[in-house]
Chain A
Amino acid sequence: MSAPALAITDLVVTYATARGRLTAVDGLSLTIAPGETLGLVGESGCGKSSLGKAVVQLVEPHSGALAVDGQDLTTLSARARRALRPKVQMVFQDPMGALDPRQRALTILETPLKLNGVRDKAERRARVLALMEEVGLRPELVDRLPHEFSGGQRQRLGIARALALKPSVIVCDEPVSALDVSLQAQVLNLLRRVQRTTGVAYLFISHDLSVVEHIADRVAIMYLGKLVEIAPRDRLWRAPAHPYTRALMDALPRMDPAHSRIADKEVIGGDLPSPFTPPQGCRFHTRCPLAVARCAAEAPALRPIADGHFAACHFATPATPQPAPAAPQRHLVTPA
């Protein structure tokens, strides 16, 4: 079996802030296989973006191990780490903020090639044009500046840049959150096509469970720096074991007014507690409908519920999977 594209072990990310030390990621472990998409879902302040930044080495983890293609970055020399950097790339939420406004598409895309030893100018240009074709950008756009691209095209440019050095893993941090629905579909489809042709693995970070449920092979749910549940996509959807996962699913707006109206829904109360002072015991107990005294005292460990399905809840039991959801409405079916 080949090494995982990404293996994270007991990762801790902390920040020194004016209000004291903040533990954004608190001892988190997960792996992503080559060519796999792991969706990471959570609300503001859960630490999902900090995890993504640690993976691409934009922040230095406090402790823990981070291995790419089986090589542990945390034990390597700075030089060896630099050599591995091309293997992990990132696509950002706001492509405008992530692209230099004074650089043309050609420069944006050839810089990573230049920095990694592609000396020949003609070869670089050819590689840039191939990248642009791969992400659906017409070659005549090569001399345009970022502001001359539409929002969807800019995100395509961001994806092309991430692909330039043939990475093993791309961290996608809310890549479609700023886009309209019709552009969202274009970018999500592009990410899926690119994965099929290149075999790249994705760590797909999003607050939107419906987007993650569409794109991911497995889904991980984070709450205040901790992983609360991780499972294969279908399994998570049909048999969620953690009360927080269920709360997220219940809160998700559905396009089904005959069965899902906000007035009739049970909605979880409360706000996210401050990550500076997370609750003792289970971090979710202050909002949890199932919480008992034990939950406030004892933090539940992430434990197996079923094959590949783990949850961190004292009451998580191997749930009976719900029957597959009812057949979708006719207009939503894509013809075979």
Chain B
Amino acid sequence: MSPALLDVADLTVRFRTPSGRLTAVDRLSFQVAAGETLAIVGESGCGKSVTAMALLRLLKAPPAEISGTHVRFDGTDLLPLSERAMRDLRGNRIAMIFQDPLSALNPVQTVGTQIIESLKRHTALRGAALRSRAVELLDLVRIPEPQRRVDDFPHRFSGGMRQRVMIAIAIAARPALLIADEPTTALDVTVQAQILKLLVSLQREFGMSLVLISHDLGVVAETADRVLVMYAGRKVEERPVADLFARPLHPYTRALMRARPTPGVTRAFLDEIPGIVPSLADLPAGCAFAPRCGFAIDACRLRPPPLEPLAGAGAVACIRTHHAPVEEPA
């Protein structure tokens, strides 16, 4: 693997709340190579979005407390960086897009003005070149009639077109890393496919790295090179995409896959995951998934399972994986 563009070691995010300190992300480590797509997948509250926000330091601190060994981007540790230096990096070398493009766009400015704002801040372009670059960018994200649409306000665009505008703004400065937080969750399925295809083709064109945050295992399977599964703030499994879907190892990953309706496979009942995700204020002492896990034994409840590297590639945090790899719980 080429040296990592992003190297995150022991990232921890805590929130100070009236009921004490909650650990939303617990010693999370991962790397993203240049040009690679890493998907971070999990259910609500697993810490996937908090991770993305913490990388760009978009969390208000306090109440958030971000710590870790390092968050190295292109060789520079971001953790000790000043707010000013972070501002220069954001939207420039690292960009982010969000689930809801309407709230991320300014409703009283034309989309052209908003793209130009980003170009002015992050590039040397000035004058008429700004507008023509904005039109080029709209064309690049496949917005029809970009010459005309550049002067339209966001409300004149459909949800999918707005997300295209957000992508145009995000890639204006040719970032090395794009973080996309549930970029297609609010979109219709045909539009979702268009946007995912666009992201992947832009990534290839520019050799950009992509961190895709999603709750949808299908979206992840369609786009990612590697997948990191999170549960209750911790990494439970990290694998190359083909390995993960061919043979998921962590009981939580397997349960997630079986709980999802699979087109073409007829089952009267889906496999439920009993219970609910534990509250961060009341995490079990051992493996956070143990109370819902069909494989759990006493040892699982004593201490959190260590993340074991796998032969080949990837890692899994489960002491039962090797004992009950594919069989169903009795």
Most chain B CB atoms below 10 A, which of A211, A251, A252, A257: A257
Could you say which residues of chain B place their CB within 8 Å of the CB of A152?
276
Stretch at the interface among B68-76, B263-271, B280-288, B308-316: B263-271
CB pair A328 B265 closer than 8 Å: yes
Could you say which residues of chain B place their CB within 8 Å of the CB of A211?
261
Summed over the interface, the residue pairs from A and B with CB atoms below 8 Å come to a total of 162
Instruction: Tell whether A9 is near chain B: CB-to-CB under 8 Å.
Output: no
How many Å from the CB of B293 to the closest CB on chain A?
12
- Binary interface profile of B, 229-247, with partner A (CB < 8 Å = 1, else 0)? 0000000000001100111
Most chain B CB atoms below 10 A, which of A181, A237, A256, A332: A181
Instruction: Tell whether B262 is near chain A: CB-to-CB under 8 Å.
Output: yes
How many Å from the CB of B24 to the closest CB on chain A?
17
Q: How far is the CA of A248 from the CA of B267 in the complex (A)?
A: 22
The residue in chain A whose Cβ has the minimal distance to the Cβ of B276 is A150
CB pair A262 B328 closer than 8 Å: no
CB pair A248 B190 closer than 8 Å: yes
Out of A44, A189, A208, A265, name the residue touching B270 (CB < 8 Å): A189
Q: How far is the CA of A305 from the CA of B217 in the complex (A)?
A: 34
Name the interface residues of A245-279: CB closer than 8 Å to any CB of B: 247-258, 260-263, 265, 267-269, 271-272
Instruction: Tell whether A186 is near chain B: CB-to-CB under 8 Å.
Output: yes
Instruction: Tell whether B101 is near chain A: CB-to-CB under 8 Å.
Output: no
Out of B189, B190, B222, B273, name the residue touching A262 (CB < 8 Å): B222
Instruction: Tell whether A119 is near chain B: CB-to-CB under 8 Å.
Output: no
CB pair B267 A334 closer than 8 Å: yes
How many Å from the CB of A190 to the closest CB on chain B?
9
Q: How far is the CA of A43 from the CA of B189 in the complex (A)?
A: 7
- How many chain A residues touch B (CB < 8 A): the figure is 55
Instruction: Tell whether A79 is near chain B: CB-to-CB under 8 Å.
Output: no
Given contacts A43-B190, A44-B188, contact A331 B276 (CB under 8 A): no
Could you say which residues of chain A place their CB within 8 Å of the CB of B194?
267-269
Could you say which residues of chain B place their CB within 8 Å of the CB of A251?
189-190, 192-193
Instruction: Tell whether B201 is near chain A: CB-to-CB under 8 Å.
Output: yes
Given contacts A214-B267, A214-B270, A331-B257, contact A272 B222 (CB under 8 A): no
Out of B44, B201, B260, B271, name the residue touching A334 (CB < 8 Å): B271
- Binary interface profile of A, 203-241, with partner B (CB < 8 Å = 1, else 0)? 000011111011100000000000000000010010000
Give the interface of B toward A (CB within 8 A). 43-44, 158-161, 188-194, 196-197, 200-201, 204, 215-219, 221-224, 241-242, 245-248, 254-273, 276-277, 326, 328
Which 9 A-B residue pairs are closest in the complex by CB-CB distance? A253-B218, A214-B261, A325-B264, A43-B188, A182-B273, A251-B193, A185-B259, A185-B270, A180-B43
Give the interface of A toward B (CB within 8 A). 43-44, 150, 152, 180-186, 188-189, 192, 207-211, 213-215, 234, 237, 247-258, 260-263, 265, 267-269, 271-272, 324-325, 328-332, 334-335
